[in-house]
Amino acid sequence: MRNEKEIVEIGIIGGTGSDITLENKKEMKVYTPYGCTSAAIIIGDFKGKKIAYFPRHGIGHSIPPHNLNYRANIWALKELGVKFIISPSAVGSLRLEHKKGKFILVDQYIDRTKKRFDTFYEGGQVCHIGQADPYCNYLNELFFESGKDIGIEIQKGGTYVCIEGPRFSTRSESKMFREWGGDVVGMTTYPEVVLSAEKEICYCCISMVTDLDVWAGECPKCGVVEYGNLCKECGSSINKLEVNVPEVLETISRNAANLKKILEITITKIDTKRDCSCFHTLSDAII
């Protein structure tokens, strides 16, 4: 149940690098109709803003992406009064120009999940939520400007292919995602983004590139190219590139400081009193 003294307007669903330093911290367990959140929610103050934070995958990264209780997580943040959700996400690159360590503020997704609960409207009322532009442009613009100010490689706009997980993609899948127009591939933005829309919450996904997925190979003469038996440019044999957990964790660790810095800078800029189209997503959506 919500305590009226604990109205929080900004929520962070994250992990390594996104645990910013909060003052006056307290743990809160929010009971939801959908069960438990990934972990107890930490509420605290940051430069005049009240923040709610919890690790998406639970304490010790113990919950795999396909088993996350997405509805409980989003419902709990709404119950606390959250209007803005910031969701860092480790992703694989599907484009040569998206190097390891780059940040991409995605504005589209392709849903390739299979067995996740992705709506709060299971009956009684039918909701056809609009998702033409699913991510909050206001938050994306704020983070983009902050990223440029501190000199990190950051891009505003891109398509996130969300797969079920917990396995990584095959080479054929990875190539297919590239042909579909995907920029990055990951396992968590869906259904967070659509559930946030159903709760009329602004949602931003900061995607951090941790690897090149498995579409890529390495030519001794031409560098990184699309994997095949021979390089299309010079005919040399191509070495396979693969993705593994140590590579992902190593990149996350190296970029944790940049993620923390961009979060801290941007949070102070968020105007929690402004109106946003994200707050009206249920208009004309419910039958």
Q: Is the pLDDT of residue 269 over 50?
A: yes
CA angle 167, 133, 9 (to 5 degrees): 85
- Please check whether residue 22 lies inside any domain of the structure: yes
Domains identified in the chain, total number? 1
pLDDT, one tens digit per residue, over 133-179 is 999 999 999 999 999 999 999 999 999 999 999 999 999 999 999 99
Q: Is the pLDDT of residue 17 over 80?
A: no
Whether pTM > 0.75 for this model: the answer is yes
- Please check whether residue 263 lies inside any domain of the structure: yes
Residue 32 — pLDDT band, cuts 50, 70, 90?
very high
202 in Cβ contact with 134 (< 8 Å):
no
CA-CA distance, 192 to 154, in Å (whole number)?
22
CA-CA distance, 266 to 142, in Å (whole number)?
6
Q: How, if at all, do strands 23-28 and 41-46 pair?
A: antiparallel
Output the pLDDT for position 12. 97
Neighbours of 249 (CB within 10 A): 14
236 in Cβ contact with 228 (< 8 Å):
no
- Please check whether residue 114 lies inside any domain of the structure: yes
* Residues with catalytic roles: 211, 213
Residue 220 — pLDDT band, cuts 50, 70, 90?
confident
Read out DSSP for 39-76?
SPEEEEEETTEEEEEEETTTTTT-S-GGG--HHHHHHH
Residue 2 — pLDDT band, cuts 50, 70, 90?
very low
C-alpha separations of 222 from 13, 79, 209, 225, 226 in Å = 39, 53, 22, 7, 11
Output the pLDDT for position 176. 97
Neighbours of 234 (CB within 10 A): 11
Element (H, E) at 105: strand 103-105
CA-CA distance, 109 to 193, in Å (whole number)?
9
276 in Cβ contact with 138 (< 8 Å):
yes
Structural domain including 197 reads 4-280
- Please check whether residue 61 lies inside any domain of the structure: yes
Neighbours of 116 (CB within 10 A): 18
- Please check whether residue 201 lies inside any domain of the structure: yes
241 in Cβ contact with 217 (< 8 Å):
yes
Q: Is the pLDDT of residue 115 over 70?
A: yes
- Please check whether residue 287 lies inside any domain of the structure: no
What's the average model confidence in pLDDT over 56-62?
A: 92
- Please check whether residue 286 lies inside any domain of the structure: no
- Please check whether residue 206 lies inside any domain of the structure: yes
Output the pLDDT for position 151. 95
Share of the chain above pLDDT 90, in %: 79
CATH number of the structural domain spanning residue 158: 3.40.50.1580
Mean model confidence pLDDT for the chain: 93
Encoded tokens for 123: 């009956």
